[in-house]
């Protein structure tokens, strides 16, 4: 297996999760139950997931210059993430995300960027040597789009494969500059919003429409149904894994991180997606974000049990 680092350019925050019987609508108050402050956000959680799967993870981002920022850095380092290129930002609040975790439905997550909104192209340039030594770079949409686009440019300059997780997706969609990636990873809701088509009814049509925006390959995350892959290698539906679902908060992050790991090993997309499906399924079996990320042995065990 490769020893090249996987670079993640992304967000870092503290998630504040409340258990609730259901997601409220309109002018309604719902009594919550358990509360927890949990290190999370997509960039940080994907970095932890990569490290748990045994690959070197280098995270580029920012935290607030406060006790929360210190706690986030401590947690990342404890999980084996290289934090060399994470900057503490005086005067900026740390990123946060409010998570409503219902008993029998998908989570509702509302992030507040804080220091994540201060990640600049210059931060990417400062870490260019780390990017140059990588094979794969993971990107998300919780830092400024200008910085994401610049990171894509730097990666392409050094022949590094880029994977963009299209979350959180703004209502007005994405600029074309962000579609210039090797792999675009979207869930059903995001893909439907980007194309105006139903990913549940016609994943092939949705993936084909997304590929016309400029990305080389498209991966549609279909929850319990697995994923759909559309690429020059071919297209196919890759089934998911049946597990007892406890919390779906970070299933998508586990999936995308595992996809990056498998690509770092040189696997073809369809093979990589099955590995990613297993990681995403395992993340659903326990609560939390970073704490729910599976280890390599756990993923291998699940795969071995369902050939």
For residue 1, pLDDT beyond 50: no
**Average pLDDT estimate for 210-227:** 95
Output the pLDDT for position 249: 81
Q: Summarize pLDDT for 170-205 with one digit per residue, the tens.
A: 999 999 999 999 999 999 999 999 999 998 889 999
How is the beta sheet containing 183-187 ordered, strand by strand? 86-89, 57-64, 6-9, 136-139, 161-165, 183-187, 217-221, 227-231, 234-238
Please report, for the domain that includes residue 72, its CATH number: 3.40.1190.20
Under the banding of pLDDT at 50, 70 and 90, the label for residue 140 is very high
- Supply angle C-alpha 80, 84, 86, rounded to 5: 100
User: What is d(CA 44, CA 271) in angstroms, rounded to the nearest whole number?
Assistant: 25
Please check whether residue 167 lies inside any domain of the structure: yes
Which of 13-22, 44-53, 281-290 reaches the highest mean pLDDT? 44-53
Please check whether residue 209 lies inside any domain of the structure: yes
Q: What is the pTM of this model?
A: 0.91
Determine the structural domain holding residue 248 and report its residue range: 6-21+34-305
Between 10-24, 49-63, 83-97, 128-142, the lowest mean confidence (pLDDT) is in: 10-24
Give every CB contact of residue 105 below 8 A, 6+ residues apart in sequence: 22, 23
Please check whether residue 1 lies inside any domain of the structure: no
Percent of the chain whose predicted confidence (pLDDT) is above 90: 75
Between 24-28, 128-132, 247-251, 299-303, the lowest mean confidence (pLDDT) is in: 24-28
User: What is d(CA 78, CA 51) in angstroms, rounded to the nearest whole number?
Assistant: 10
Please check whether residue 183 lies inside any domain of the structure: yes
Which residue pairs, CB below 8 angstroms and at least 24 apart, start in 16-21?
A: 16/96, 16/97, 16/98, 16/99, 17/98, 17/99, 17/100, 17/101, 17/249, 17/288, 18/98, 18/99, 18/100, 18/101, 19/101, 19/102, 19/103, 20/100, 20/101, 20/102, 20/103, 21/102, 21/103
Please check whether residue 102 lies inside any domain of the structure: yes
Catalytic annotation present for 105:
no
Strands 234-238 and 227-231, bridge-based pairing: antiparallel
From 41, 82, 247, 253, active-site residue: 253
Please check whether residue 93 lies inside any domain of the structure: yes
For residue 307, pLDDT beyond 80: no
Number of domains in the chain: 1
Q: Summarize pLDDT for 237-293 with one digit per residue, the tens.
A: 999 999 999 988 889 999 999 999 999 999 999 999 999 999 999 999 998 889 899
**Average pLDDT estimate for 128-143:** 98
Between 97-101, 130-134, 136-140, the lowest mean confidence (pLDDT) is in: 97-101
CA torsion angle 78 132 255 275 (round to 10): -100
- Residue 295 region by backbone torsions, left for phi larger than 0, else alpha for psi between -120 and 50, else beta: beta
Please check whether residue 62 lies inside any domain of the structure: yes
User: What is d(CA 107, CA 122) in angstroms, rounded to the nearest whole number?
Assistant: 34
SS3 state of residue 128: helix
User: What is d(CA 70, CA 221) in angstroms, rounded to the nearest whole number?
Assistant: 33
**Average pLDDT estimate for 156-178:** 96
Strand partners, 231: 234
Please check whether residue 298 lies inside any domain of the structure: yes
User: What is d(CA 126, CA 141) in angstroms, rounded to the nearest whole number?
Assistant: 20
| E strand spans, the chain | 6-9, 13-20, 35-40, 57-64, 86-89, 95-102, 108-112, 136-139, 161-165, 183-187, 217-221, 227-231, 234-238
268 alpha-carbon distance from chain centroid: 20
CB atoms within 10 A of CB 25: 7
């Amino acid at each position: 297996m490769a020893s090249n680092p996987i670079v993640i350019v992304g967000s870092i925050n503290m998630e504040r999760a409340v258990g609730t019987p259901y997601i409220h609508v309109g002018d309604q108050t719902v009594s919550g139950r358990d509360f927890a402050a949990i290190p999370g956000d997509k960039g940080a959680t994907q970095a932890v997931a990569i490290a748990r799967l045994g690959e070197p993870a280098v995270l580029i981002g920012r935290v607030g210059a406060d006790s929360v920022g210190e706690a986030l850095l401590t947690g990342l380092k404890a999980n084996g993430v290289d934090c060399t290129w994470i900057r503490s930002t005086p005067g900026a609040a740390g990123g946060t995300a409010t998570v409503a975790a219902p008993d029998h439905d998908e989570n509702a997550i509302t992030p507040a960027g804080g220091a994540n909104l201060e990640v600049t192209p210059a931060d990417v340039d400062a870490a260019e040597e780390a990017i140059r030594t990588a094979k794969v770079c993971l990107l998300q949409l919780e830092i400024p789009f200008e910085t994401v686009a610049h990171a894509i440019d730097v990666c392409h300059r050094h022949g590094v494969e880029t994977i963009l997780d299209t979350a959180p997706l703004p209502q007005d969609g994405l600029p074309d500059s962000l579609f210039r990636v090797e792999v675009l990873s979207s869930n059903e809701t995001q893909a439907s919003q980007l194309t105006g088509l139903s990913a549940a009814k016609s994943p092939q049509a949705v993936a084909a429409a997304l590929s016309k925006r400029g990305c080389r390959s498209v991966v549609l995350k279909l929850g319990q149904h697995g994923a759909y892959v559309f690429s020059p290698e071919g297209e196919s539906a890759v089934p998911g894994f049946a597990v007892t679902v406890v919390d779906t908060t970070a299933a998508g992050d586990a999936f995308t991180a595992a996809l990056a790991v498998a690509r770092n090993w040189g696997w073809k997309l369809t093979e990589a997606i099955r590995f990613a499906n297993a990681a995403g399924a395992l993340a659903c079996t326990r609560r939390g974000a970073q704490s729910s990320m599976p280890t390599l042995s756990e993923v291998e065990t699940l795969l071995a049990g369902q050939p």
